Amino acid sequence: MARSGLTHLDAQHKPKMVDVGAKEVTLRSATAEARVRLPATVARALRASGHRTRKGPVFDTAIIAGVMAAKRTHELIPFCHPLGLDSCDVEVAHPRGGDIVVRCTVSVRHRTGVEMEALTGAAVAALTIYDMCKALSHDLEITAVRLLAKAGGRRPFKRAGGGKRR
């Protein structure tokens, strides 16, 4: 680790990819969440249509986009290692009177974690929902893109409150 404590900087403070070659291969997992806030009229219209727009099934399309994005995270985030994911599960829920909640859980047996893959999957699924609903309104908002939990590495993490909205 560089003297600064930041893992992606060398001793001269130049950016670098972390060398994970000496780390132990372990099962690593991460869960991230993103929320899409809709105006009440859009939420009602989506529910009434079975979560379909003229572009097609919103939630199914978002799930596919989230999985595709998680698998390609290393192509989007410069210092992420390319990983052959063991699993990627994207769930989309639209509770009555609430935001659309996207959760992405990723796992891999590797030397590096998958929190960026989970965050990317959740964020791209939320962006897909925005894209498919923008014809109904541009007053949509993607909020609370955050890591909920990670396991299998040196520093496990679990968000206090179980990831419930505050």
The catalytic site residues sit at 131
Instruction: Write out the DSSP string of the chain.
Output: --TTS-TTB-TTS-B-----TTSPPEEEEEEEEEEEE--HHHHHHHHHTTSEETTEEHHHHHHHHHHHHHHTHHHHSTTPPP---SEEEEEEE--TTS-EEEEEEEEEEESS--HHHHHHHHHHHHHHHHHHHTTT-S--EEEEEEEEEEESSSS-EE-GGGG---
